[in-house]
Amino acid sequence: MLASQFVSRLFIVLLLLSLAAPLLAQDDTRPRKAKKTRPLTEYMGREIAMTMHYAGAEWLLRNEREREERCSLLLDNLGLKTGMTVCDMGCGNGFYALPIAKLLGPRGRVLAVDIQPEMLFLLRERMELEGIRNITPILGSVDDPYLPEGTVDLAILVDVYHEFGFPEEMLAALRKSLKPTGRIVLVEFRAEDDDVPIKPEHKMTKKQVNRELTANGFKLESEFGELPWQHVMFFQIDSEWQPKEGR
């Protein structure tokens, strides 16, 4: 029953999108194959979490999320400006991509990356319902987000970096995607706080975040510490960084 309903919704949305295609931002959802086949299970002493399955996408839109995470406060403190190009890495069903697209205005653009085509289907469905045209859905792979180089002003990673099975490859790709003045921001549940009701493998300490990012060509620029459950850490390219041999 659920499968037939999903197929019916998919057909209707694809039909609507085909009629509206000239108005929508061009997407890039060609099937992707990972260049590598053995994702890591741990990195720099940290257990890597499993990717959230699209079947749980409704949880991303739960009514209590604003109260728990103060999502509007996060949006207010990302430094978004009209006309920017923003990457929403692990965009899911567009919980953040849609409001960011509205804040950027028609001259701005959101590159919405996910590795699950089902998530991008849900994103497109919400884009169509809200009439949003400045989001480009991109189907990434587990080791490459397929972002254009040198175009991104801000890449936002909300509760997703800890799931990367190929963290070094993904961070290298993100680094290449940034403009010289571009930044990435990691939003991760605080592992330092036992009262944050999230599984341990889905949390990170600030020390661990900084350790992994600086080892991959980034340096900490600033932090925002007013969210109830999450760290917000902004990083920029470290121009003096040199990769280790063999990378």
pLDDT of residue 246: 63
**Packing angle, helices 167-177 and 206-214, rounded to 10:** 70
Domain ranges of the chain: 26-237
Residue 128 to residues 13, 25, 247, Cα–Cα distance (Å): 8, 11, 42
pLDDT in tens, the chain (247 residues): 444 454 455 444 444 444 333 334 567 777 666 676 789 999 999 999 999 999 999 999 999 999 999 999 999 999 999 999 999 999 999 999 999 999 999 999 999 999 999 999 999 999 999 999 999 999 999 999 999 999 999 999 999 999 999 999 999 999 999 999 999 999 999 999 999 999 999 999 999 999 999 999 999 999 999 999 999 999 999 999 998 876 5
Give me 60's structure tokens. Answer: 């991303």
Q: What is the CATH number of domain 26-237?
A: 3.40.50.150
Residue 21 to residues 51, 122, 245, Cα–Cα distance (Å): 30, 17, 46
pLDDT of residue 13: 44
Cβ atoms of residues 224 and 173 within 8 Å? no
pLDDT of residue 171: 98
